[in-house]
Structures are given as structure tokens and as C-alpha cells.
Amino acid sequence: MKPPLERGLGLLGATATNMLGMIGVGPFLTLPAMLTAMGGPHILYAWLAGAVLALCDGLVYAQLAAALPGSGGSYVYLREAYQPFGLGKRMAFLYIFQVMLVAPLSISAGAVGFANYLSFFVPLTMLQKGLAAAALCVFMTWLLYRPTATLGRMSVAMLVVVMATVGWVIAAGLLHFSWRQAFDFPHDPQLWQHIGAVSLLAMYNYGGYNNVCNLGDEIRTPWKTMPRAIVASIVLVVLLYLTLSTVVLGTIPWQQAAASPTIASDFIGQVHGPAAARLMTGLILFVTAASLFAVILGYSRVPYAAARDGQFFAVFARVHPRGHFPHISLLTLGGLSLPFCFLSLDRLISWLILVQIVSQFVWQCAGVILLRRYRKDLSQPFTMWLYPLPALLSLLLWLYVFLSAGWEGQLFALAFLAVGLLAYRGIDERSG
């Protein structure tokens, strides 16, 4: 009998783990691109649009997590929601299939962002950035190779540093803040089109609020803790991002911010000098590493849950004999992230979000409604506010983000979905 996973995460640890997955180098790296695309202060509209989508989608996750509070997250949700229609195994397989791409993409995107900020200290070629990103993935995988209770304490400690870093940027900006400059909105006749395109970047920055759903077997009272952790982490991160962007807009001209590849370091350097800029860069590197810590932790539990149920390769169900964590799954996903560290951040983000939209997000928004209506055998202790409006709005907004993206990313996502369907058909025919 395999040893069970340890329930070592409470509400604070779960919320910290979620927030670490959400707050990485993302806003510091994508802020210039968002400012350029939105033409300055309109970036606040993109953050708000993303916040609405994140909260609606977070409520979908919260309701599903309360009804199905085990490890595996969306793998379990999709399997159980579509089971009454004979599609449970197909949807579960498609999710696991896309995780084997999405997890390495997510991990490597954070690592590439780390390497980009590392170049603030020393100029790096593209190859050197890729090697630095890959080295970070290896180090974080090693750091996670330990029991869950220890990881919960580490998550809280890392979150303290994350909040201090963001807080420093905000406090520095408030000393030189101009309300008129921050809210000087120029006319934009294509505002809604721009919001749709930039929302992809916003959702990349908000992404991670579902991280705790993959750790259900390691959370105390998960049917209560997971919904609270999801909603709390989204609200707190939305407030942080809005405040951060407003402070930057009100301190330096948005055109200057848009041209800065290391905006946080340059921002602090302008206010406090080069020594402070170097310190800020070091803190951002820590924030990025902490975010990867949470992302790898969450994703590594998905293949474990699938293998434990007999829906994936049995080797992934192995649990470390002393630490009681899924070490094979952890090592595999950490290793698969390495080759993606040599791709551009723009491509990684586009593939990451668009593949998830067509392979997971839209099906999950419908699935939460199907689960409530057709799975009366399951206890469902939490129902989203204004049910089912948040789920329906989330579905429409995800489609809006997908249709607003570039055609290359759309084609890649649809092609990957088709390959997944063909792969399931081949496996199903052999097993049948």
C-alpha cells in the first residue's frame, strides 16, 4: 500500500502557495508590453478586465474544489463533470495530455523571465539566458524534493519577501506620485480590441489561483480551505497589480516605462539610485524563483493523481518512501521544462494561455454547471455567488481572449487539441 500524502497545508499556507504562483516576474516583465499595447493608463482597464475573468474563473475552481477536494485539480473536475455523458475519461486524458505541455511552458516562462532580469547585472546572450533559465528549473526541482509540511512553511516565508518587494515599488512611487499623470487617459477608438489582446498578458500574470486545487490531498479541511484560498489570493493580487501599475503611471511617463525591459529595477534606480536598483533586481530574482517553487509544486501532483487512478503511467503514482511526496512526477516535469527555456517569452506565454483555453478552461466553465445538475451523488458544500452567471461570464471572456489573440497561437492551440483527440482515440482503440 502506497503511503498517503501528508495534509500539511492550512489556509495561510494554501493562500501563500497560490499567491506565490500568481506573483512572479510577470508584472515586472510584461508591464512595458502592456503599456505599449494599451497606450498608457488604459492598462488599468486591461487589469480590471482580467480581474473580472480571474474572479469568475476562480469561483468555478472554488465550487469544483469544494465538491472534489482531492489532488489532481482539473483532471478530477473534468473527469467527474463529463462522466454522465460518457466523456469523463476522454476529458481527463485531454487534460493530462495538455498538462505535459502546459506545465513545462509555465515553468520555463518564469525561468526565462528570471534570466531576462539577471541580464541587469551582466549582459547575457540568448544561449546564456536559456542556460541560466534551465539551471533555475533544476535548482527549484531539487528544492521541492522534500515533505509538504516543510513546503508550506517555506511558502509563507517566501511570500513575505514577495510582498516586501512589491511594497517597496509601491512605497517608492508614492513619494513622487502625480494623480494627473496617472489618470491622463488619451482617446483610443480601438480600446476594446486592445483590451482583448492585452488580457492574454493580464491572465498570464493572474494565473496561478488554481494552483492549490492540485494539492487537495495535502490540505487540511480542503472543502473549506481551497475556496477561501482561491478567492483570497485573487482579491489580494488584483489589488496589488492595480496599485503597482497606478504608482508606476503616476511616477514616470508611461512612454519611458514602456521602453524599459527591466522596469522595476529602472524605476527604483530613478527614485533611489543604482545601488537600490541592484537590490531590487535581486529581490525580483527571488520573487521569480519563489513563483516557480509554487508552480512546480502544484503541477507535479497532477500526473500523480491520474496515475493513482489508473489513467496515466503507473510510475507517476510512486510516492517518496520517507517524504511522502510524488517524486517521479516532480522530477519528470522539472526535466521537461528544460528545452522550453530556450524559447522567447512571448511565444511561451501565447502557447501557455491559448492551449489551456481550448483544452481546459472553456470545458471547465461548462463542467461546473453539469456537475451541479447531473452529479447529485456528490456533496457540493460551496456554490459560487450568483450561480451560474460567473461560470457563463468566464466562458464568454475566455473565448473573447482567444479570438483576440494572434492567428499563429490560435492555430497552434487548435492543432494541439486535435493531436490530443487523436492520441486518445488511438489509446482507446488499443485498450478496447
> Quick one: pLDDT at residue 24?
66
> Quick one: pLDDT at residue 368?
97
Phi, psi of 323 (to 5 degrees): -85, -15
pLDDT interval class at 150 (50, 70, 90)? low
pLDDT interval class at 188 (50, 70, 90)? confident
Share of the chain above pLDDT 70, in %: 94
Q: What is the pLDDT of residues 317-355, one digit of tens each?
A: 888 777 677 888 889 998 999 999 999 888 999 999 999
Instruction: Please check whether residue 199 is in contact with residue 46, taking contact to mean a CB–CB distance below 8 angstroms.
Output: yes
Q: What is the DSSP letter of 5?
A: P
Mean of all residue pLDDT scores within the chain: 87
- The predicted model gives 406-416 an average pLDDT of 93
Does 11-427 carry CATH code 1.20.1110.10?
no
Q: Is the pLDDT of residue 139 over 90?
A: yes
Kindly report the number of other CB atoms within 10 A of residue 294's CB atom.
30
> Quick one: pLDDT at residue 50?
92
Q: What is the pLDDT of residues 86-112, one digit of tens each?
A: 999 999 989 988 988 999 999 999 899
Instruction: Please check whether residue 130 is in contact with residue 342, taking contact to mean a CB–CB distance below 8 angstroms.
Output: yes
Q: What is the DSSP letter of 146?
A: S
Higher pLDDT pick, 312 / 388: 388
Q: Is the pLDDT of residue 1 over 60?
A: no
- pTM recorded for the entire structure: 0.84
Q: Is 382 exposed, middle or buried (0-12, 13-18, 19+ CB in 10 A)?
A: middle
How far from 262 is each of 68, 173, 266, 416, CA to CA, in Å?
41, 16, 6, 33
